[in-house]
Amino acid sequence: MNTAPDIICAGSVLWDMIGRSALAMQAGDDRPGRITRLPGGVALNIAMTLVKYGLRPALLSVVGQDSDGRALISSCQAMGLNTDHVLRRADLPTDRYMAIESQGRLLAAIADAHSLEAAGAAILAPLRGGALAPLGAPFTGLIALDGNLPVETLALVASHEDFAKADLRLAPASPGKATRLLPFLQAGRGTLYVNLEEAGLLCGTQFCGAQAAAQGLIRHGARRALVTDGGQPAADADEHGLRSARPPAITAQRVTGAGDTFMAAHIAAERAGTAPQAALETALRAAAHYVSGKETP
């Protein structure tokens, strides 16, 4: 593709294997349901949603030169995603993610993102005097970055002058990886998109709601923080104040990818010039629409 991208989505690009059952489940249960394989990963989920809003994202990630990698790149290109700068490594397999959902809730998941961790900062080369940034000049555009990357790579982005002027949008990927984003609090860079549990892990405490969590992240150094809490009110805090909104009431049909949909819809709304309060409400509607089992509007 020759058209300059509107946003860079850097992080996990992999195959999702999602098993969903409409029945209640707990550890050790064996229930009927549906198993689906589809393109996924935080960075890819965000990019796929951004395309639906008319934006042109470019992916930065690593994919193996195996059959899974070839199929994944082909699927991304068919969706209109720029894969020109995705690393293709013969020595690494294409990453995978496996999840089990029960009645619209996540029961368990395993993220096999070892190839992304092995590639590390190499996936960012096009932004460091490469194809996407002039030599000797920092990248000045939008970057959606996910916490599946190694902490050393994330710390590099948080502190290096190559990214000092970028509009960084940050997703932790999961509560288990939330603390990888601590360098961004310490550097006061980027916009965090986290849930209530992840906010508590980043601040080393428990919060009673999204508003307290968003303000707590600001006190701990975050430049801006958006915090969701399931069906409870979400919040957006920065130096200008605090905004809050309640998501629409829905019956959950799925959960994997909901946070990525929220983040992408919020980015798209703000890029279109939507005011912060309205952008928060737009993102909550999009995430609720997704969780209810429908496509992004």
Residue boundaries of the structural domains of the chain: 7-291
| Residue pLDDT, tens place only, 162-192 | 999 999 999 999 999 999 999 999 999 999 9
In the structure, what pLDDT confidence band is assigned to residue 247 with cuts at 50, 70 and 90? Answer: very high
| Residue pLDDT, tens place only, 115-129 | 999 999 999 999 987
Q: How far apart are CA 237 and CA 27, in angstroms?
A: 37
Interval 61-86 mean pLDDT: 97
In the structure, what pLDDT confidence band is assigned to residue 130 with cuts at 50, 70 and 90? Answer: confident
Residues 6 or more apart whose CB falls under 8 angstroms from that of 46 comprise 9, 57, 144, 146, 171, 260, 263, 264, 267
pLDDT at 1: 46
Q: Is residue 288 pLDDT above 90, yes or no?
A: yes
CATH class for the domain made up of 7-291: alpha beta
pLDDT at 4: 87
Q: How far apart are CA 77 and CA 71, in angstroms?
A: 10
pLDDT-above-90 percentage for the chain = 89
Q: Is residue 297 pLDDT above 70, yes or no?
A: no
- CA torsion through residues 208, 209, 212, 216, sign: positive
Contact assessment for residue 154 and residue 187, using Cβ atoms and an 8 Å cutoff: no
| Residue pLDDT, tens place only, 81-107 | 999 999 999 999 999 999 999 998 899
How crowded is the C-beta side of 106, counted as CA atoms within 13 Å? Answer: 15
Q: What are phi and psi of 53, to 5 degrees?
A: -95, 10
Q: How far apart are CA 279 and CA 31, in angstroms?
A: 39
